[in-house]
Amino acid sequence: MKLIIGNKNYSSWSLRAWLAARASGLVFEEIRIPLFIPGSRERILSHSPSGKVPCLIDHGLPVWDSLAICEYLAEKAPLWPTDPAARAIARSVSAEMHSGFMELRRQMTMNIRKDYTGHGHTPAVDADIVRIEAIWNDCRTRFGAKATTPGPFLFGAFSAADAMYAPICFRFRTYGVKPAGAAGEYLATMLAHPWMLEWDAAARAETESIPAEDLYG
Ligand SMILES: N[C@@H](CCC(=O)N[C@@H](CS)C(=O)NCC(=O)O)C(=O)O
């Protein structure tokens, strides 16, 4: 399999698919296409029908869009919780992430290398943050702590839901958002995860920058 991704510093959707691919345990080749430079659109379109990353190619079959990639990989490896109720909630919070939190995504873009502490807050962003913290607290206390496959993640063992919320963890660090309680512990767990550390280091090693994405200098 090949996974087409964008810049690791900026491309939050790429991170989600990459983490799901790592969590699947399947072997994949990573193809990184720096975004918004001459030729990038053509390069992405040569792999991805939507013209966007991420895109997974499995024996010539393109699967694009982060959530579709999670679902495709979940048919090959256990990426969702085994308990049906936990799985339903994991899918619900993942879909909510995929389609929501627009204001937070607009004002607090993923930018791993920067320290934008205190920037990006508007009433709508703060409402998104409150909702995300509630999701993390609820998942950890209702499911994570009691999961049949135990672990410190939203539903116990690392799942596709953690992949979907991973860019929020980098954003909270960049923008100095510090949740309390179970949500705060979950954030620390995610930021210390070896796959997150690997992505973080690779993002910091990148040399390209996208001025339009460096929102606060
Ligand atoms: N809904 C898509 C969003 C994909 C997306 O917006 N990707 C951005 C990078 S994070 C992209 O490819 N941008 C390049 C472009 O729009 O030309 C997903 O979940 O994968």
The CATH class that applies to domain 2-77 reads alpha beta
Q: How far is the CA of 11 from the centre of ligand 1 (A)?
A: 8
Residue nearest atom 10 of ligand 1, based on CA coordinates: 11
18 alpha carbon – ligand 1 mean position (Å): 14
pLDDT at site 99: 98
d(CA 70, CA 67): 5
In this predicted structure, the answer to whether residue 147 has a pLDDT above a threshold of 80 is no
Decide: 12 in ligand 1 pocket, CB within 6 A: yes
Closest to 171 in 3D by CA, of 207, 138, 206, 215: 215
Nearest-CA residue for atom 14 of ligand 1: 52
Look over the chain and give the mean of its residue pLDDT values, rounded to a whole number. Answer: 97
- Calculate mean pLDDT across residues 77-87: 96
At residue 11 the predicted structure's pLDDT band, cuts being 50, 70 and 90, is very high
Using the mean position of ligand 1's atoms as its centre, give its distance from the Cα of residue 47 in Å: 13
pLDDT tens per residue, range 125-141: 999 999 999 999 999 99
Q: What is the pLDDT of residues 41-65, one digit of tens each?
A: 999 999 999 999 999 999 999 999 9
For residue 54, give the ligand 1 atom closest to its CA.
20
CA of 95 to the centre of ligand 1 (A): 16
| Contact 193 CB / ligand 1 (< 6 Å) | no
For 20-37, how does the pLDDT look when each residue is reduced to its tens digit (9 = 90+)? 999 999 999 999 999 999
Whether domain 84-201 has CATH 1.20.1050.10: the reply is: yes
**Structure confidence at residue 123 (pLDDT):** 98
Indicate the pLDDT class of residue 1, thresholds 50, 70 and 90.
very high
- The pLDDT assigned to 150 comes to 87
Residue 93 predicted with pLDDT over 80: yes
Q: What ligand 1 atom has the least distance to the C-alpha of 12? A: 10
Nearest CA to ligand 1 atom 13: 52
Tell me the C-alpha distance between 20 and 14, whole Å.
10
| Pocket flag, ligand 1, residue 66 (CB < 6 Å) | yes
Cβ–ligand 1 distance for 54 under 6 Å, the answer yes
Tell me the pLDDT tens digit for each residue of 156-195. Answer: 999 999 999 999 999 999 999 999 999 999 999 999 999 9
Q: So where are the chain's domains?
A: 2-77, 84-201
Quick one: pLDDT at residue 173? 98
Nearest 10 degrees: CA dihedral of 136, 100, 117, 204? Answer: 90
| Beta strands across the sheet bearing 55-58 | 29-32, 2-5, 55-58, 61-64
At position 72, the amino acid (one-letter code) is Y
